[in-house]
């Protein structure tokens, strides 16, 4: 069966899924995020929220959708009027990561499998500007796109029962940070002292889908100092406006 | 001043829930909320509470609770032989509780989850606009012995029963679960679709607030999808053929094909099923 994109389908009687094509790419993600913003603004009264992933939008409605095909048509026209070429205002956040052995449980595995030195791994991981594609899996778990191909490694065949809070992992061509300790299957290369989810704040995540992230390497001492500052609410993530 | 309830025994898995935590899915926060929204709403409406007031969700085995002040409560959903000071009380009624009364539960007769509502609702701190307990979002995710719950005390009131309130219970034992097509339904073969129509499925031991797994596998060669959005009620099909029905505490995204989406009524029915119970899907209902 082949689908014509964007493809609209109901998910139950209070949600509509829009698929933009089965691919992970910067272009598709931009399209997804611009349409998301447009729908959020125009339909703010009828919808609970719009969730995006790499290439889908899920719109959940306050009430049961009376006529789903009429709603498809309405969304189609909304999407066609969204300005796809527009740049999204986003922020670039600088995230400290400690890549020391104590935290980078799978650094040596990655080094031997991908024939890299540890310092090459750190260079390759801290060079790109990553895009926050969406937040999912756990509250505050950022799915980051833009990993260097040389760092691609498959997930662990058996997931760990416990991955530590802050663990920075790689799963296939994705990289991300565990915002709390949890079971997990990604290969762990470091740990970030930053809190990515604060339930006492609205919104609970400072970094949003569409924002950019760049990592910088810190030594254990600085890592511990940042944890202290985080505990005393003195730590401010370095950020700047990003136009890309 | 708030009055206290002393938790003398926590029961198997007891938590405070309201109708859920909405608008935070974009931050990866699950919806949570009562598994069976119908019974929880009825329990509240019996007391003239708003239907989304926080209630206690009890799973299979009830807690033992002592009230420090008088109030009124109601119990709906599964029937777990509730007793006040050792005397049998009924589901779907308004029960006057006096200072120092003890609420206990006995043998589970039918269903899986019961809801205790209290006049004015249980008083808990809202986290991200909801009272629903969820590990990692709220400080507590289930009741422990020695915990205290809070409510606003009230003078004993007259019979509050809504004479007009018709209460359904047949859905608790209903084996037919209404479903819609999921986004990847059309990738199944006709034979697989037919099988989903006609076969009975058994609730697996692996079932909790996050997901209910089904025992019978559905052989398939569907490819994984690019991680996409999921909802409570989404049925995922794994490469090894496991059917996983996502429930209220489910994650917001997933990578398994989403073959069916069960209705709100279906989620409520499924919430009342125990391991070994049999279900059947009717599908697809499309408008």
CATH for B225: 2.40.100.10
Q: What's the total number of domains in chain B?
A: 2
For residues B157 and B80, membership in a common domain is answered with yes
Q: What's the 3-state SS for chain B?
A: CCEEEEEEECCCCCEEECCCCCCCHHHCCCCCCCCCHHHHHHHHHHCCCCCCCCEEEEECCCCEEEECCCEEEEEEEEECCEEECCEECCCCCCEEECCCCEEEECCCCEEEEEEEEECCCCCCCCECCECCCCECCECCCCCCCCCEEEECCCCCCCCCCCCCCCCCCHHHHCCEEEEEECCCHHHCCHHHHHHHHHCEEEEEEEECCCEEEECCCCCCCCCCCCCEECCCCEEEECCCCCEEEECCCCCCEECCCEEEEECHHHHHHHHCCCCCCEEEEECCCCC
A133 plus A45 within the same structural domain: no
Q: Is the pLDDT of residue B259 over 80?
A: yes
pLDDT of residue B287: 38
Q: Which H helix or E strand runs over A183?
A: strand A182-184
Model confidence at B283: pLDDT above 90: no
Provide the percentage of residues in chain A whose pLDDT is more than 90.
Answer: 80
Domain boundary among A81, A99, A120: A81
Query: Considering its fold, how many domains does chain A have in total?
Result: 2
User: How confident is residue A1, by pLDDT bands cut at 50, 70 and 90?
Assistant: low
Residues A65 and A124 in one domain: no
- Please indicate, yes or no, whether residues B203 and B259 belong to a single structural domain of this protein: yes
B167 is a domain residue? no
Above 80 in pLDDT, residue A92? yes
CATH number of the domain that residue A163 is part of = 2.40.100.10
Q: Each residue of A47-56: pLDDT tens digit?
A: 999 999 999 9
Give the mutation candidate from A72, A136, A162, A202 for the B interface (greatest B CB count, under 10 A): A136
**Domain final residue, candidates A56, A81, A106:** A81
Do A118 and A196 lie in one domain? The reply is yes
Instruction: Please tell me the predicted confidence (pLDDT) of residue A131.
Output: 95
Averaged pLDDT for residues B152-178? 79
Cα B46–B49–B51 angle (5° rounding)?
Answer: 90
Question: Which stretch of A60-64, B166-170, B212-216 has the lowest confidence by average pLDDT?
Answer: B166-170
Q: With respect to residue A129, please indicate whether it lies within any of the assigned structural domains.
A: yes
Hey, is the C-beta of B223 within 8 angstroms of any chain A C-beta?
A: no
Same domain, B155 and B180: no
Q: What pLDDT, in 10s, does the model give residues A58-91?
A: 999 999 999 999 999 999 999 998 877 677 789 9
Whether the pLDDT of residue B284 is over 70: the answer is no
Same domain membership, residue A207 and residue A95: yes
Closest Cα partner for B82 from B95, B69, B71?
B95
CB A15 within 8 A of CB A58: yes
Quick one: B211 and B76 in the same domain? no
**Are residues A163 and A47 part of one domain?**
no
A236 falls within a domain: yes
Q: Does B181 touch chain A (CB under 8 A)?
A: yes
* Closest listed residue to residue A103, CA positions, set A225, A209, A240, A217: A217
Task: Give contacts of B26 with chain A, Cβ < 8 Å.
Answer: 49-52, 134-135, 208-209
Domain contains A130: yes
Domain that holds residue A22: 7-81
Looking at the fold, whether A107 and A221 belong to one and the same domain comes out as: yes
* Nearest-10 crossing angle of helices A118-126, A107-114: 100
Query: Where is the domain boundary, A61, A81, A101?
Result: A81
pLDDT of B72-100, one tens digit each?
999 999 999 999 999 999 999 999 999 99
The reply to whether B178 and B131 lie within a common domain is no
Same domain, B8 and B72: yes
Write the residue in A52, A134, A180 that is nearest to B136 by C-beta.
Answer: A180
Picking from B112, B135, B162, the residue at the C-terminal end of a domain is: B162
Residues 6+ apart with CB under 8 A from A37: A82, A88
A180 lies in a domain?
Answer: yes
In 3D space, the residue among B65, B49, B77, B48 whose CA is nearest the CA of residue B150 turns out to be B65
Query: Which of B162, B186, B215 is where one domain is finished?
Result: B162
How much is the mean pLDDT over chain A? 93
Q: Are residues A13 and A111 in the same domain?
A: no
Check whether residue A21 and residue A123 sit in a common domain. no
Q: Which of B25, B138, B263 sits opposite A51 (nearest CB)?
A: B25
The answer to the question of residue A192 being in a domain is: yes
Q: How confident is the model at residue B129 (pLDDT cuts 50, 70, 90)?
A: very high
**Which residues on neighbouring strands pair with residue B73, listed in sequence order?**
B95, B118
Q: For residue B231, what are the domain limits?
A: 174-282
- Pairwise CB contact (< 8 Å): B229 & A1: no
Grade residue B154 by pLDDT with cuts at 50, 70 and 90: confident
> Are both A49 and A77 inside the same structural domain?
yes
The CA distance from A226 to A55, in Å, is 35
Answer yes or no: do B261 and A12 touch at CB < 8 A.
yes
What pLDDT is stored for residue B157 in this prediction?
60
Residue A56 lies in a domain: yes
Q: Are residues A72 and A98 in the same domain?
A: no
Q: Which of B28, B264, B286 sits opposite A135 (nearest CB)?
A: B28
Dihedral over alpha carbons B170, B172, B177, B178 (to 10 degrees) = 60
* For B139, nearest residue in chain A (alpha carbons): A199
Distance from CA of B22 to the nearest CA of A (A): 7
User: Does ipTM come in above 0.90?
Assistant: yes
Considering the domain architecture, whether residues B44 and B180 belong to the same structural domain is answered as: no
In this structure, the answer to whether residues B231 and B263 fall within a common structural domain is yes
Are residues B139 and B267 both part of a single domain? no
- List the single residue in B with minimal CA-CA distance to A62: B22
Picking from B162, B196, B215, the residue at the C-terminal end of a domain is B162
CB-nearest to B287 from A68, A143, A202 is: A68
Looking at the fold, whether B190 and B248 belong to one and the same domain comes out as: yes
Distance CA B35, CA B266 (A): 11
In this prediction, what percent of chain B has a pLDDT beyond 90? Answer: 90
Residue B211 has pLDDT above 90, yes or no: yes
In a domain, B79, yes or no: yes
**Residue B208 placed within a domain:** yes
Q: Which of A186, A109, A181, A184 is nearest to A147 (CA)?
A: A186
Do the chains contact at B28 and A17, CB–CB below 8 Å? no
Q: Report cis status (omega within 30 of 0) of the bond before B208.
A: no
Return the higher-pLDDT residue of A191 and A87: A191
């Amino acid at each position: 069966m082949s689908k014509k994109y964007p493809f609209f389908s109901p998910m139950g009687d209070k949600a509509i899924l829009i698929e933009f094509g089965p691919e992970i790419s910067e272009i598709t993600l931009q399209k997804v995020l611009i349409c998301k913003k447009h729908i959020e603004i125009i339909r703010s009264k009828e919808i609970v929220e719009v969730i995006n992933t790499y290439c889908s939008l899920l719109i959940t409605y306050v009430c049961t959708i009376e006529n789903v095909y009429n709603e498809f048509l309405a969304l189609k026209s909304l999407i066609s009027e969204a300005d796809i070429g527009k740049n999204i205002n986003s922020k670039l956040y600088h995230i400290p990561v400690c890549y020391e052995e104590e935290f980078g449980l799978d650094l040596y595995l990655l080094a031997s499998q991908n024939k890299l030195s540890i310092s090459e791994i750190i260079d390759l991981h801290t060079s790109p500007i990553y895009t926050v594609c969406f937040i999912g899996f756990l509250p505050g778990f950022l799915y980051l796109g833009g990993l260097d191909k040389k760092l691609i490694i498959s997930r662990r065949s058996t997931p760990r029962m416990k991955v530590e809070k802050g663990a920075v992992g790689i799963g296939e061509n994705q990289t991300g940070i565990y915002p709390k300790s949890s079971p997990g299957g990604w290969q762990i290369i470091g740990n970030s002292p930053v809190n990515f989810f604060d339930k006492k704040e609205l919104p609970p995540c400072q970094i949003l889908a569409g924002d950019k992230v760049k990592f910088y390497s810190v030594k254990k001492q600085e890592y511990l100092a940042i944890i202290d500052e985080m505990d005393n609410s003195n730590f401010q993530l370095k950020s700047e406006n990003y136009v890309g | 001043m708030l009055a206290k309830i002393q938790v003398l025994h926590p029961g198997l898995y007891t938590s405070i829930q309201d109708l859920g935590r909405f608008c935070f899915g974009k931050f990866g926060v699950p919806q949570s909320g009562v598994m069976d929204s119908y019974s929880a709403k009825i329990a509240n409406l019996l007391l003239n509470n708003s239907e989304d007031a926080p209630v206690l969700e009890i799973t299979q085995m009830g807690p033992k609770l002592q009230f420090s002040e008088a109030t009124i409560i109601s119990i709906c959903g599964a029937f777990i032989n509730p007793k006040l000071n050792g005397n049998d009380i009924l589901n779907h009624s308004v029960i006057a509780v006096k200072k120092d009364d003890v609420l206990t539960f006995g043998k589970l007769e039918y269903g899986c989850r019961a809801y205790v509502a209290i006049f004015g609702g249980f008083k808990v701190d809202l986290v991200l606009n909801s009272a629903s307990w969820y590990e990692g979002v709220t400080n507590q995710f289930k009741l422990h012995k020695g915990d205290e719950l809070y409510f606003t005390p009230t003078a004993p009131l007259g019979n509050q029963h809504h004479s007009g309130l018709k209460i359904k219970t047949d859905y608790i034992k209903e084996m037919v679960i209404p479903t819609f097509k999921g986004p990847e339904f059309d990738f199944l073969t006709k034979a697989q679709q037919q099988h989903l129509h006609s076969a009975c499925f058994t609730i697996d031991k692996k079932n909790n607030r996050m997901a209910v797994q089904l025992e019978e596998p559905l052989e398939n060669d569907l490819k994984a999808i690019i991680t996409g959005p999921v909802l409570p009620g989404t049925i995922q099909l794994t490469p090894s053929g496991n059917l996983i029905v996502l429930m209220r505490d489910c994650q917001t995204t997933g990578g398994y094909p989403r073959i069916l989406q069960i209705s709100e009524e279906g989620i409520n029915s499924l919430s009342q099923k125990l391991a070994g119970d049999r279900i059947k899907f009717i599908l697809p209902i499309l408008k």
